[in-house]
Amino acid sequence: MKVFMQKMLIPLLCLFILVFVFLNANNWTDKLATLTLNDPKIIIPSKDEYAKQEDFLFVQNVEDFTPYSKGDLKNIYYTIVNNGWEEFTFYCPSEYTNCLEDVREISNDQDLLTHLNNFVHPFNSFSNVETLISKAGDVTVSIHYFYTSEQIAEITKKVDELYNTLITNDMDDYTKILTIHDYIINNTKYDVERNDSGESTYHSYIAYGPLFEGMATCNGYTDAMALFLEKIGLNNFKIAMTPEDNQNSEGHVWNAVYLDNQWLHLDLTWDDPVSNDGTDYLQHKYFLITTEQLNEIDTSGEVQVLEHQFKKNIYLEMK
């Protein structure tokens, strides 16, 4: 009997081990991956043609994609979007113990992601960011971009045509910006329908609306202007005041441009006011002004304008 039990013990033990390994296969795979990914190879794709080379005070391009702080993670997310990558995987090092927690926090912070989005070229701006975190500690970021390749081709052709028609070689940068500013406003109406209901038949939330359909929300005005600022060769970004920043406002976005050694505000939406009788207006109230001038204008009227109360700790150039 003892011999029989001893003979049965080994097969039973082997069976038990096989069952245990099968039930815990995923955990063992993740642990093995963690061990083998101490120095993982990160595949870095090529940047697209719209990637900005300039760094900003709040966000900078990175070449090292191993994060050691929340600031590193913020710059990695920015670089992924700025470079036009649809998908990118990086890894959390073991010494950065809060890395995955910080990744979850950033990936769920829609307000922060919105502000990061404003520092990239319009054609690299995203509509959605998805982050997948594995137990092995690798982080895969997937980007869904606003503009389709077809829209980019059409808009690029239109911007080139308008630029060659409106801009002459003897113009200085100020005059170029003024010419484009006035053209967009004179050929665009504010899309009140989209603003009121969130829906519209026009692509007014991107540059396609003002350039092809004559309709825009603040996003469309700003993207269209940004494309021409890029064409001129001026450093620029978009500034957003989101509802999360100010509960009393629906949010707003406008341009910032570096001209004559200073950063200036440029708001085409507010220079193209909506009238009750349908009359078209062209103003230069918010044309290339300093932050001090912006605050003065917003507080000098009977009603205080809240839409320009941007975060100074993000848009540091405009302090």
* Mean of pLDDT over the chain: 89
Predicted TM-score (pTM) of the model is 0.86
Greater pLDDT, 18 or 50: 50
Taking a C-beta distance cutoff of 8 angstroms, is the pair 155, 213 a contact? no
pLDDT at 38: 53
CA nearest 66: which of 115, 120, 138, 132? 138
pLDDT digits (tens, 9 = 90+) for 236-257: 999 999 888 777 678 999 999 9
C-alpha 95/C-alpha 38 separation (Å) is 10
Binned at pLDDT 50, 70 and 90, residue 301 comes out as confident
Beta bridge partners of 253: 240
3-state SS assignment for residue 101? helix
CA-to-CA separations, 107 to 55, 68, 231, 272, in angstroms, rounded: 22, 17, 32, 35
Res 5 pLDDT > 90: no
- Of residues 297 and 36, the one with the higher pLDDT is 297
User: Residue 293 — pLDDT band, cuts 50, 70, 90?
Assistant: very high
Those residues whose C-beta lies under 8 Å from the C-beta of residue 120, and which sit 6 or more positions away, are 50, 52, 78, 81, 82
pLDDT at 303: 82
Give me the pLDDT at residue 248, please: 64
Average pLDDT (163-189) is 98
Please check whether residue 315 is in contact with residue 56, taking contact to mean a CB–CB distance below 8 angstroms. no
180-197 pLDDT per residue, tens: 999 999 999 999 989 888
274 confidence band (pLDDT: 50, 70, 90): confident
Beta strands (DSSP E) in the chain are 87-91, 126-133, 138-145, 189-190, 215-216, 236-241, 252-259, 262-266, 287-289
Query: What structural domains does the chain harbor?
Result: 70-145 (3.30.1370), 149-318 (3.10.620)
Per-residue pLDDT tens digits for 90-148 = 999 999 999 999 999 999 999 999 999 999 999 999 999 999 998 788 999 999 999 99
Overall average pLDDT of the 17-41 stretch? 47
Question: In the prediction, which pLDDT does 135 show?
Answer: 78
Q: How many CB atoms neighbour CB 183 within 10 A?
A: 16
CA dihedral sign of residues 70, 75, 81, 84: negative
**Bigger pLDDT: 9 vs 48:** 48
